[in-house]
Chains A and B, each alone.
Chain A
Amino acid sequence: MNSKRILVMAWENMKQRKLRTSLTTLGVVIGITAIIGLASLGEGFRLGIRERLQQGFELDVLIVIPGSFTAALREPFSPEEVDNVRNVAGVTLVAPVITLPQGKLINEEDRKLNAFTIAAVNFSELSQVYSERFVPIEGEIPDPEENNTVILGYKSCFLNETTQLVHVDDNVTMEIELLGLPQPIKRTLRVAAILGKSGTPGITNFDYWAFIPMGTGLDIVTKEAYNIIVVKVISAEKSEQIAEDIEDVFENPYSISILVPTTFMRQVDRILNFVQLFLMAIASISLLVAGIGIMNIMTVSVMERTREIGILKAIGAKSRTVLAMFLSEAVLIGALGGVIGAFTGYGASYALAYVLSGFMQPQGDQLFATPEQYGMTINPVFTPEWTLIAFIFAIVVCIIFGMYPARKAAKLDPLQALRYE
């Protein structure tokens, strides 16, 4: 008997027992819904997080520092070392930075600005590297560079949305305490520009920074010794390779650290992947439960249909034909449940995303936060691979659990089955 006719027969049989078939299928539907729902939600969640991270990191920008992030293991970088980094293949831009320790900025009313880091940089270099972040909302970035100016991070001069400590073209006093000097060095700087909110909690959040031109900085520290080298590379994909090449230009690569956002992203991705797989493994349990339901129902069904099986075998059906007939029912239940479950799974993921997104909106009065900045929306993602895998998984589970009752049916002795009442 060819497989098409066996399938048709199985389908006819299932139609005769609508309630039973639908309840058995429902088990599969729930399992697949859980798997696909979590898969597409997880994928959406992952993309959401990645997007958030990308807002905090320029993926094609590496940050080179001497020593580790918590301790300097060596002298700051020399101009030669900066040039060596500049010459590494794949490096498109280099912006060395001198951070001035123990510095503060004071406005004309003698109020201290929230500039926690004062950095001497080349304005045009930095604005090229961070073309989306190093952008003023007030004033202009002086070009050509003009000594004794300052560019302020958003929160260094805005205490909140309405209270602004300084404006463009105001003067601020910078006080730098240098080791060995009894008095702090004072400079009066003109506020040239105020940067827009970085918003994101990334490592290169400039909100509490203040930038002064390299000329002014060197005038104070007198030594060209850079604490940070910001490196823009040709592409995010190659950033890890280029980071390795950069390490190689230093005499002792172990004495420096390079922050590679791509590596970090990959780690986060890996963790998210694991979490997603874990959730799906839990969801799979429901499919296994559905499988046991199928086994249960089919075993009952084989008992009920013993006589029918006896008739089939008596008129010449082979054991494998009987096996195929019962397995077909299991496969059809799996396929039906898989298809319905795929739809309900995506439906469920959208519903869940809607609910979860509500929870991820900012709660109460976060510092300066606006919903666009801190709220996160999840958009479930349709993944054909997961859909296919879930569908196949449903059928496989049904075959595995249908196998026992189907074999039981196939092995029945025709005469005994015929006598069964």
Chain B
Amino acid sequence: MCALLEVRNVQKTYKMGKVLVPALQGVTFNVEEGEFLAILGPSGSGKSTLLHIIGGLDRPTEGEVLIDGINLYKLGDNKLAEIRLNKVGFVFQFFNLLPRLTALKNVELPSALADDSEKESIDKAKKMLKLVGLEERMNHRPTELSGGEQQRVAIARALINNPKIALADEPTGNLDTKTGQEIIWLMKKLNKEKKQTFVIITHDPSIAETADRIIYLKDGLIEGIKEGREYEF
């Protein structure tokens, strides 16, 4: 059986003026279904670039990414958008909610984009908000929510279309320690209860410690892989 996510020799080189800057220099690993993986590395290690490439947001210079057996970068832009819509859920460091939409509308959005009926997407969005514990605040706009609440909305939005894999880019990076911890707990809970696969990137070892497995990234290369410990929460 092949893995849910296969990253094969992914390289990415940026062009800064006339200088080529290597961000990723050949990264290969797999993620199994239901896994909670952390990619740990200092800033500039290429971890964000890697996450974007895994999620179909950025084309690699070399190498392949397969999600559910689909080779992402053989697809055109439209098909890639469909992958982002249906197979991947993104959680960003700065939440990236649409400021003018309520929490409910924000969560609904991917469902609406996937052509669900209005009723269907509202039902799903309410369910998702309940799952992240925000059903009370669903009619609030992002500016009326705390950072932790905004990130919960973002998680609900990421998961509404039942993605194969949820990708989180420094999900706690913009939160205080306690709130950050709660967000990690929430993701761990969803991982346990819904068997939701997560890949999170972080520069914080204590966050990475909570994962099933940690990939250490440095200078665009995998420095090591460590099986995490069972985390009690």
Contacts and interface: CB of A to CB of B under 8 A. Distances in A.
A167 B122 CA distance: 92
B81 A317 contact: yes
Contact of A313 (B81, B86, B97, B161): B81
A414 B109 CA distance: 16
B81 A1 contact: no
A308 interface: yes
A387 interface: no
Contacts of A319: 77-78, 81
B28 to A, nearest CB: 23
Given A1-B115, A414-B57, A415-B58, A316 B96 contact: no
Contact of A16 (B81, B90, B100): B100
Most chain B C-beta atoms within 10 Å of own C-beta, residue among A1, A310, A315: A315
B81 A318 contact: yes
Contacts of B115: 1-2
A321 interface: yes
Given A314-B96, A315-B157, A318-B78, A415 B57 contact: yes
Nearest to A321: B113
A308 B57 contact: no
B110 interface: yes
B98 A316 contact: no
B118 A316 contact: no
B227 interface: no
Contacts of A311: 96-98
Interface of A: 1-2, 5, 12-13, 16, 307-308, 310-321, 414-415, 418
A315 B109 contact: yes
A314 B90 contact: yes
Q: Is the interface of A mostly helix, strand, loop or mixed?
A: helix
B84 interface: yes
Contacts of A310: 96
18 contacts: A2-B115, A308-B98, A311-B96, A311-B97, A311-B98, A314-B92, A314-B96, A315-B90, A315-B113, A315-B157, A316-B82, A317-B85, A318-B81, A319-B77, A319-B81, A415-B58, A418-B92, A418-B96
A316 B112 contact: no
Nearest to A307: B96
Nearest to B118: A5
A215 to B, nearest CB: 91
Contacts of B81: 313, 316-319
Interface in B88-112: 88, 90, 92, 96-101, 109-110, 112
B107 to A, nearest CB: 11
Contacts of A320: 78
Given A5-B118, A13-B100, A315 B57 contact: no
Contacts of A317: 81, 85, 113
A414 B98 CA distance: 14
Nearest to A9: B112
Given A311-B98, A313-B81, A315-B85, A1 B112 contact: yes
